[in-house]
Chain A
Amino acid sequence: MNRRTLHIAHLFPDLLNLYADRGNILTLTQRLRWRGFSVEVHEVTHRDVPRLSAYDLILLGGGSDREQGIVAEYLKGYKAELKAAIEDGLPVLAICGGYQLLGAYYQLPNGEKLPGLDILNMYTSAGVGLPRLIGNVAIETPDAGIVMGFENHGGRTVHEHEPLGKVLHGHGNDGASGFEGVRYHNVWGTYIHGPLLPKNPRLADVVLTTALQYAGVKEPLEPLDDELENQARQAFLKLRMPEVETSVPSL
């Protein structure tokens, strides 16, 4: 294969690895390898210095409140550089805690504000006495069809950007707005895990296409055999969110 290597950075897998981010990394790398690309995954721990210019895609996962605070503190020094790279089109997939980190702050129930990266016009607050938003979730997205998975977050996120999608089942960003996640330049932010990508191969391919373009690879992705993925999607909807399955004729 004459193709170049795609570089994926998994930021702080030692801190932010609460929601099976490994599943997202595996999905991205396997779907590239099955198409003949080579992939290098850089596990950037909190001891390493992130080299943003060397990455074609960044994955920022979820952690507990305590660990998120450590990450926010640690990332402070890279805030400006990361913001510039994102404005320049660096693809970032941010999930749960990683999604919250992109905003200005995360306010804990005791009122304390954990500062975020302040890259997006967004904030999250846990509220007082509010239940965690937990359960299966499905959303309708403009470029990746129905995206489904599981959500489990205490925080309510409010932002001024495009959402990732419209909630068909579940809570979404704040349990009230009817929207889930965020889309900004080449950033995807979402509360959906499960993990996110294995059962949403279209979204995985949208992310990969964007990352390849960012890396200077122009050719389109060849289709893969997604029979098992599609069966898994259908089975999941039929069993856990039947009203979504019947409302949408084709997945």
Chain B
Amino acid sequence: MFAIWAGKLVTLLLRMRGKDATSFPGKVALRISPKLLAWFGRRIERVIVVTGTNGKTTTTSLLASMIGHQEAIITNHKGANLAQGIATAFIQAASWTGKLRAKTAVLEVDEATFPTIAEALPIVVIVVTNIFRDQLDRYGELDTTVEKLFEAIRKTEACLVLNGDDPISRRLGLRSSRKTFYYGMARETARQDTRRQIRDGQFCLQCGHELRYDGFWYGQLGLYACPHCDFARPHPEFIGTYLGPTLRFSEEGLPDLTLDMPVEGLYNAYNVLAATAGARVVGLWSEHIHAGLANYVSPDGRMQSFQLDVPVKLNLIKNPTGCDSVVQAVTSDPAQKVVVIGINDLAADGKDVSWLWDADFEMLTDDPSIVRVITSGLRAHDMALRLKYGGLSSHVISVIADMDEALDAALSIASSQSLPIYILTTYTLLHPTVQTLTTKVGSHESTNVAYRTSVS
């Protein structure tokens, strides 16, 4: 009990100072009582976990919004997906006597953290978005990530909701021998590949032979089959057809749903598909799914808009595949634009910045509508080198290591020519950038309706 009080006091203190209280209260409480999560685990009825490499924050928010339309839920916000972030979510949902105000929790969980919290909570459903190459220094190698997920699944009795288009997730499903539901995009919407992007798991995880692909969506997501053994893409129970502003959701025996996409892009179509599949497995009606999508508020750093003198869009980047999706979205805007890329190398960002070279920044250097790229953060120079060797002319690149100064420089260039600004940052630069931009919006005289805050 004392741990909960301490957590709540810390929350109050942080809020009084206008600080972000998504992780630190839980950290303090867990230090006082390491078994705090198990204590909460005995007091909550069911927990739905979303994990995976990319899209887990968006998918969690979508699913929380859908289930939250039906009943009160507990959820961790802003991607605070380590044990302390999850503890914080429970502390904030608990009364001073420790009583929780909801029976269901929808939690985003980091893959590496998952085994340590899996046995503490009554997890009934695990939704996995995809398994891509992520921060190698934290996880060792990709195979380690898969092992962590196996380890976690074994500690629960949950059923699985997996991305059937992802061969690594498929392998996870086969090896786990759990009740598994697959979701995937409609077969006929797969594309023949055009750009060279990183593809993990392109070799059969059962026998080592090269997988044959009849089409791709992005990264290693596609229509795969092993020519040598029986490993192949499963026929998904939940099928999505991405139609731009909407996603058609099909499920055998039920009428199709036409879902309004609250966020743009194919990778977000996968998030909507994963969340809806999770909602169906939990037993949600279509009205809750529609209402959840309509009420959804984009989390920080997912094409988050700020209206200053010029429109500013903020995106989190953290690994090659996720970064490619973001850069693709940026370059699909035909307007001339200013781009700011902030790269830090702290623990939460990944201390190894090698992944910058696996990401397809050539999409950016090939884009003639880029007026200026400002690189920033602790590894601003590494990012500038990436662009230089990617072929971007050096007079288009500026290095300004301080993020606030970089933002000011970008605003002054963009305002003078009325250009939009796209900002891409790694994790530890995201929240400071949100704060800076929020302050700038506040002091911007014509604060206008286009800005939707997600900072509550």
| Residue positions of A touching B, CB distance < 8 A | 14-15, 17-20, 22-23, 26-27, 30, 46-47, 64-67, 70, 132, 134-136, 150, 152, 154, 193-195, 198-199, 228-229, 231-232, 235-236, 239-240
Is B42 at the interface (CB under 8 A from chain A)? no
Could you tell me the distance between the alpha carbons of A22 and B196 in the complex, rounded to whole angstroms? 11
Q: Which A residues are in CB contact (< 8 Å) with B391?
A: 30
B353 CB → nearest A CB, Å: 7
Could you tell me the distance between the alpha carbons of A66 and B357 in the complex, rounded to whole angstroms? 23
Could you tell me the distance between the alpha carbons of A193 and B137 in the complex, rounded to whole angstroms? 12
Across the interface, name the chain A residue whose C-beta is closest to B320.
A20
Partner of B388, one of A17, A47, A228: A228
B382 CB → nearest A CB, Å: 6
B399 CB → nearest A CB, Å: 7
Contact in complex: A67, B203 (CB < 8 Å): yes
Could you tell me the distance between the alpha carbons of A81 and B385 in the complex, rounded to whole angstroms? 37
Is B18 at the interface (CB under 8 A from chain A)? no
| Residue positions of B touching A, CB distance < 8 A | 136-137, 140-143, 198, 202-203, 208, 210, 345, 351-358, 378-382, 384-386, 388-391, 394, 399, 401
Q: Which B residues are in CB contact (< 8 Å) with A239?
A: 378
Contact in complex: A20, B358 (CB < 8 Å): yes
Could you tell me the distance between the alpha carbons of A25 and B378 in the complex, rounded to whole angstroms? 25
Partner of B351, one of A19, A66, A150, A154: A150
Q: Which A residues are in CB contact (< 8 Å) with B394?
A: 228
Contact in complex: A235, B381 (CB < 8 Å): yes
Partner of A30, one of B379, B384, B389: B389
Could you tell me the distance between the alpha carbons of A20 and B361 in the complex, rounded to whole angstroms? 13
Contact in complex: B143, A23 (CB < 8 Å): no
Contact in complex: A26, B357 (CB < 8 Å): yes
Contact in complex: A228, B142 (CB < 8 Å): no
Contact in complex: A150, B137 (CB < 8 Å): yes
Contact in complex: B136, A152 (CB < 8 Å): yes
Contact in complex: B137, A152 (CB < 8 Å): yes
Contact in complex: A232, B385 (CB < 8 Å): yes
Specify the main secondary structure of chain A where it touches its partner. Answer: mixed
B198 CB → nearest A CB, Å: 7
Partner of A26, one of B355, B390, B399: B390
Q: Which A residues are in CB contact (< 8 Å) with B203?
A: 15, 67, 70
The total of interchain contacts (Cβ-Cβ below 8 angstroms) comes to: 89
Q: Which B residues are in CB contact (< 8 Å) with A17?
A: 198, 358
Across the interface, name the chain B residue whose C-beta is closest to A198.
B385
A to B CB contacts below 8 Å, 14 in the list: A20-B356, A20-B358, A23-B356, A23-B357, A30-B391, A64-B141, A66-B143, A70-B203, A150-B353, A152-B136, A199-B382, A235-B381, A236-B379, A236-B381
Q: Which A residues are in CB contact (< 8 Å) with B399?
A: 228, 231
Could you tell me the distance between the alpha carbons of A236 and B388 in the complex, rounded to whole angstroms? 17
Partner of B357, one of A20, A47, A64, A70: A20
Across the interface, name the chain A residue whose C-beta is closest to B208.
A70
Contact in complex: A154, B354 (CB < 8 Å): no
Q: Which B residues are in CB contact (< 8 Å) with A65?
A: 141, 143
Q: Which of B353, B389, B399 has its CB near the most chain A CB atoms (within 10 A)? A: B389
Contact in complex: B354, A23 (CB < 8 Å): yes
Partner of B382, one of A30, A152, A193, A236: A236
A35 CB → nearest B CB, Å: 14
Partner of A198, one of B140, B352, B380, B389: B389
Q: Which B residues are in CB contact (< 8 Å) with A236?
A: 379, 381-382
Seed contacts A18-B141, A20-B356, A30-B391; 11 additional CB < 8 Å A-B pairs: A15-B203, A64-B141, A66-B208, A67-B203, A70-B208, A150-B137, A150-B353, A152-B352, A194-B353, A198-B385, A239-B378
Contact in complex: B351, A135 (CB < 8 Å): yes
B168 CB → nearest A CB, Å: 12
Contact in complex: B381, A231 (CB < 8 Å): yes
Contact in complex: A228, B354 (CB < 8 Å): no
Could you tell me the distance between the alpha carbons of A212 and B285 in the complex, rounded to whole angstroms? 68
Q: Which A residues are in CB contact (< 8 Å) with B345?
A: 240
Contact in complex: B357, A22 (CB < 8 Å): yes
Across the interface, name the chain B residue whose C-beta is closest to A43.
B196
Contact in complex: A232, B382 (CB < 8 Å): yes
Contact in complex: A150, B382 (CB < 8 Å): no
A18 CB → nearest B CB, Å: 7
B432 CB → nearest A CB, Å: 17
Q: Are A195 and B354 CB-contacts (below 8 A) given A27-B389, A150-B137, A229-B385?
A: yes
A208 CB → nearest B CB, Å: 14
Q: Which B residues are in CB contact (< 8 Å) with A240?
A: 345
Could you tell me the distance between the alpha carbons of A198 and B210 in the complex, rounded to whole angstroms? 31
Contact in complex: A150, B352 (CB < 8 Å): yes
Could you tell me the distance between the alpha carbons of A66 and B140 in the complex, rounded to whole angstroms? 13
Partner of A228, one of B198, B202, B381, B390: B381
A69 CB → nearest B CB, Å: 8
Contact in complex: B354, A19 (CB < 8 Å): yes
Partner of A64, one of B143, B355, B381: B143
Could you tell me the distance between the alpha carbons of A66 and B378 in the complex, rounded to whole angstroms? 34
Q: Are A198 and B386 CB-contacts (below 8 A) given A14-B202, A231-B399?
A: yes
B336 CB → nearest A CB, Å: 24
A33 CB → nearest B CB, Å: 10
Could you tell me the distance between the alpha carbons of A26 and B345 in the complex, rounded to whole angstroms? 22
B202 CB → nearest A CB, Å: 7
